[in-house]
Structure 1
Amino acid sequence: MQSPDIPDTPPIGQPCGHYGGSPMELGADRNIGLLIKHVHILLHRVIDLKAIPLGLTANQWRPLLLIEHKGVDTPAEMARAMGVDTGAVTRTLDRLESKGFLRRERVPEDRRVVKIVLTDSGREVAARILPAIAETLNIHLQGFSEAEIAMLFALLKRMIVNGEQHLLQQTAEHAPEP
């Protein structure tokens, strides 16, 4: 299957053999993984700087967005969504609660379950994070044409599809037989 967004490309799922494993091929300026990671780090550093005037530290703006826009409403869901342990989430929620951005409420039907709810000031601050993220993305895309941005989306999506297909295939191959 060819990628519909990228002309003259080999079928999705076939290894391309671009890298051979030598240090020259996998140097920081030629390693796609390292370059993507570097962009990821830079994006977050700029967003973090924009979050400071909102009264948020680097680790505090993301939980607010997850609550407001993704419907994450328990500490356990938050830990899964952020890929961190529940202790780290508890400390972050404690700080956000002390700043008045959220509150934790016990569910009357099951007192063991705690729901996370944004306060009015938490919703106000969360509403200001997305524009900061948009501004950050625009900073990093300066000088790109619309066609280049569309190509970048297509290429990154294709990498995701390739990786997900490989993971599914490997998981199926290594699954224990019933």
Structure 2
Amino acid sequence: MSNPTPPLFPFSVMGLLIGRTALLKDQILDRNLEPYSVTAAQFKVLIMIAHFGVDTPAELCRQLSLDSGAMTRMLDRLEQKGLIIRRRCAADRRQVRLALPQEGQELADLLPKFGADAMDELLGALTPEEHATLERILKKVLFSAGDVITMQRLGDSQ
């Protein structure tokens, strides 16, 4: 029995290109955030708490596609750095709520600029038209795949 050939097999390089692009974006963020002792992964957690209102480890796991063990370790590191606070929920003591202390909020206020700078560096070779085309294509791919996170963040703005 032969292996089935996907109809778009000649274009399978797309997985490599998309994966490498995401990795390179994280490497740029890591480099730019190094003076603040924050990694790209920690950047994503802080952005979710500060700018998307995510306040539980479980929701962070869902939003960032991380398992609870990895999230616990990351939150431990952020807490040790004084960038987040974990508190038990008054209504349900089993649940942990996340918040940013002043130092965490001050850093979180800078993070959108770091994100924008990383994207400018990564996509700087594109013309404005190419940038708009790439964005439109990626939205179409994510919406057609039913990506809940993209739909929540962008609504109907395909």
TM norm structure 2: 0.81
> Percentage identity across aligned positions?
35
> Conserved in 1, the CA contact under 8 Å of 2:29 and 2:39?
no
Matched, 1:159 2:154: no
**Which structure is richer in relative contact order (CA contacts within 8 A, separation 6 or more)?**
1
Q: Give 1:48's match in structure 2, choosing from 8, 30, 40.
A: 30
Q: Structure 1: 5+ residue runs without aligned partners?
A: 1-16, 166-178
SS for the counterpart of 1:59 is helix
- Provide closer, same or farther for how the CA distance between residues 108 and 130 of structure 1 changes in structure 2, counting only shifts above 3 A: same
- Provide closer, same or farther for how the CA distance between residues 142 and 57 of structure 1 changes in structure 2, counting only shifts above 3 A: closer
Output the CA distance in 2 between the equivalents of 1:107 and 1:91.
Answer: 20
Structure 2 residue identity aligned to 1:146: P
Structure 2 residue identity aligned to 1:78: L
Matched, 1:117 2:99: yes
Output the CA distance in 1 between the equivalents of 2:114 and 2:94.
Answer: 36
Per-residue CA deviation, residues 76-106 of structure 1 (Å, 9 max, x unaligned), is: 1112122112121111111111111111111
Output the CA distance in 1 between the equivalents of 2:138 and 2:91.
Answer: 44
Structure 2 residue identity aligned to 1:155: I
Higher alpha-carbon Rg: 1
Name the Cα RMSD after superposition. Answer: 2.0
Q: Give 2:89's match in structure 1, choosing from 92, 97, 107.
A: 107
State the 1:18 CA deviation: 6.6
Structure 1 residue identity aligned to 2:110: R
How many residues align structurally? Answer: 142
- Provide closer, same or farther for how the CA distance between residues 75 and 161 of structure 1 changes in structure 2, counting only shifts above 3 A: closer
